């Protein structure tokens, strides 16, 4: 996460981007944005929409829940786990590395 230079991805505006299981059947991720300016950009309508998340994660848009929490400069995203926890195809038991596609998502061209 560069402290200087032009921010290019969501992670560049964030203190932390994380993901984790929310029970065995859901995954949830949070963007902790550094300040309200960055938050306004990331939380803006149409930027991190359900169709965008659906494309990043290969899940159905109608299953995605997005929470915008301006008091904390947080955007939180939850959706059913596409692969059952602990199954043969599950490569991330805690879903703890699934924040990366979101963290590396390019920012809108405003800088």
Residues that bind other proteins (CB under 8 A): 20-26, 28, 30, 32, 56-58, 63, 65, 67, 69, 71-72, 74, 76, 78, 80, 84-89, 91-94, 97-98, 100-101, 104-105
> Based on CB atoms, which residue is closest to other proteins, 4 or 58?
58
Q: How far is the CB of 36 from other proteins (least distance, A)?
A: 13
- Name the helix (H) or strand (E) containing 54: helix 50-57
Residue with structure tokens 């490569």?
Answer: 91
Phi, psi dihedrals of residue 98, rounded to the nearest 5°: -85, 0
Secondary structure of residue 82 in the 3-state scheme: coil
> Based on CB atoms, which residue is closest to other proteins, 4 or 97?
97
**Across the strands, what pairs with 76?**
30, 67
> Based on CB atoms, which residue is closest to other proteins, 7 or 101?
101
Q: How far is the CB of 108 from other proteins (least distance, A)?
A: 17
Residue 53 Rama label (left phi>0; alpha psi -120 to 50; beta): alpha
């Amino acid at each position: 996460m560069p402290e200087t230079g032009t921010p290019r991805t969501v992670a560049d505006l964030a203190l932390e981007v994380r993901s984790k299981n929310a029970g065995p059947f859901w995954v949830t991720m949070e963007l902790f944005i550094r300040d309200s300016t960055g938050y306004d950009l990331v939380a803006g309508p149409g930027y991190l929409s359900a169709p965008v998340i659906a494309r990043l994660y290969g899940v159905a848009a109608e299953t995605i829940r997005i929470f915008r929490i301006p008091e904390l400069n947080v955007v939180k995203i939850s959706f059913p786990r596409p692969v059952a926890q602990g199954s043969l195809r599950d490569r991330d038991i805690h879903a703890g590395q699934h924040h990366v596609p979101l963290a590396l998502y390019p920012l809108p061209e405003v800088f």
